[in-house]
Amino acid sequence: MLLPRWWELGDPCAWTGQGRGARRMSPATTGTFLLTVYTIFCKVHSDRNVYPSAGVLFVHVLEREYFKGEFPPYPKPGEISNDPITFNTNLMGYPDRPGWLRYIQRTPYSDGVLYGSPTAENVGKPTIIEITAYNRRTFETARHNLIINIMSAEDFPLPYQAEFFIKNMNVEEMLASEVLGDFLGAVKNVWQPERLNAINITSALDRGGRVPLPINNLKEGVYVMVGADVPFSSCLREVENPQNQLRCSQEMEPVITCDKKFRTQFYIDWCKISLVDKTKQVSTYQEVIRGEGILPDGGEYKPPSDSLKSRDYYTDFLITLAVPSAVALVLFLILAYIMCCRREGVEKRNMQTPEEQMKRPFIQVFQNLQ
């Protein structure tokens, strides 16, 4: 960063060509200068704390506007800067993010988004995410820390979970609070639960989906899992009846009565809906019975003898070499006999060839010469 000459000289009045005693900064100018330095210092070293719940969707937007003010030259109030900015996120001390946390940013001119579903294993442990912003025009960088304090959600269980596949959305579009709120509102209107939360959002590309062609505004598709505290409604259960299952097997759209409540904004593939009732799942956990830590008595240990009997490998060596050598020699003799002793001589060949056939090439050559 290029600094003015008065900053380099340490004299705020050097730019005027006058000494310190001749001219000084006014109190208002000094206050503005100190406030600017304090603001920049606080922005560079600020940390942000968030408190998501385990098992509930967490979304944090990395706003470009928030980081623009940290790249020199610092914009003045009212100025508009549209520098391309990208972000790099990682767990402090590690090269990548935690397994449950994902990140997406389509272009350097769009905001980045951190999203995922925190796991119960990290409850009570602060997860520090380092966020590094890169200005792709000036190559300046700025770093912030995002401290994720995961809270327990065991007091508010969501045993009934449904996963929807929305065909006309990309993951960053679905993560917008307005769009996600509209979808949860439509689900709540159909399901009628007391508590409803988004649990996770996954791009169809992460499930093995194909990148759509850039025609007709095709979308990648997104899976949205929601959880509620009441059993599934009859409308959601309609996809499980035999008629709809048959239509799905024939790649036809099933007949769902409540589809019209989503169709205005969301195109749902009802054949890919997944309903999970955790109240009926049988736990496979087996309690480990710990013993006293003493192995059962297996008698006195008998190590192998120090004196081993000598063994003669000469016979084995001869058999290993003699048998293949003898076979190879026999094959060599047979091949030599066929190649050298069974050849037909020229005289024998001429005797077996008719005389007319022997003279025909010479007659053709003589005719060609004439």
The predicted pLDDT at position 16 comes to: 41
Mean confidence (pLDDT) of the chain: 80
HEC string of the chain equals CCCCHHHHHCCCCHHHCCCCCCCCCCHHHHHHHHHHHHHHHHHHCCEEEECCECCCCEEEEECHHHHHCCCCCCCCCCCCCCCCEEEEEEECCCCCCCCCEEEECCCCCCCEEEEECCCHHHCCCEEEEEEEEEECCCCCEEEEEEEEECECCCCCCCCEEEEEEECCCCHHHHCCHHHHHHHHHHHHHHHCCCCEEEEEEEEHHHHCCCCCCCCCCCCCCEEEEEEECCCCCHHHHHHHCHHHHHHHHCCCCCCCHHHHHHHCCCCECHHHCEEEECCCCCCCCCCCCCCCCCCCCCCCCCCCCCCCCCCCCHHHHHHHHHHHHHHHHHHHHHHHHHHHHCCCCHHHHHHHCCHHHHHHHHHHHHHHHC
Domain residues of the chain, as ranges?
1-45, 47-152, 160-277
Residues 303-319 pLDDT 10s:
877 777 788 888 888 89
- Residue that has been written with the tokens 């077996």 in this structure: 352
The predicted pLDDT at position 9 comes to: 36
Burial tier of 181 (Cβ tally within 10 Å: 0-12, 13-18, 19+): exposed
Q: Homologous superfamily of 47-152 in CATH?
A: Immunoglobulins (2.60.40.10)
Distance CA(101)–CA(58), nearest Å, equals 9
Write the CB contacts of 70 (distance below 8 Å, at least 6 apart in sequence): 40, 43, 44, 133, 142
pTM value surpassing 0.85: no
CA dihedral 340, 341, 342, 343 (to 10 degrees): 50
The predicted pLDDT at position 306 comes to: 77
For the domain bounded by 160-277, which CATH number is listed?
3.30.70
> What is the band of 44 on the pLDDT scale with cuts at 50, 70, 90?
very low
Q: Please tell me the least confidently modeled range out of 89-93, 133-137, 337-341.
A: 337-341
The predicted pLDDT at position 76 comes to: 67
What does DSSP say about strands 141-149 and 47-50: parallel, antiparallel, or unpaired?
parallel
> What is the band of 222 on the pLDDT scale with cuts at 50, 70, 90?
very high
Residues 84-108 pLDDT 10s:
999 999 999 999 999 999 999 999 9
The predicted pLDDT at position 279 comes to: 83
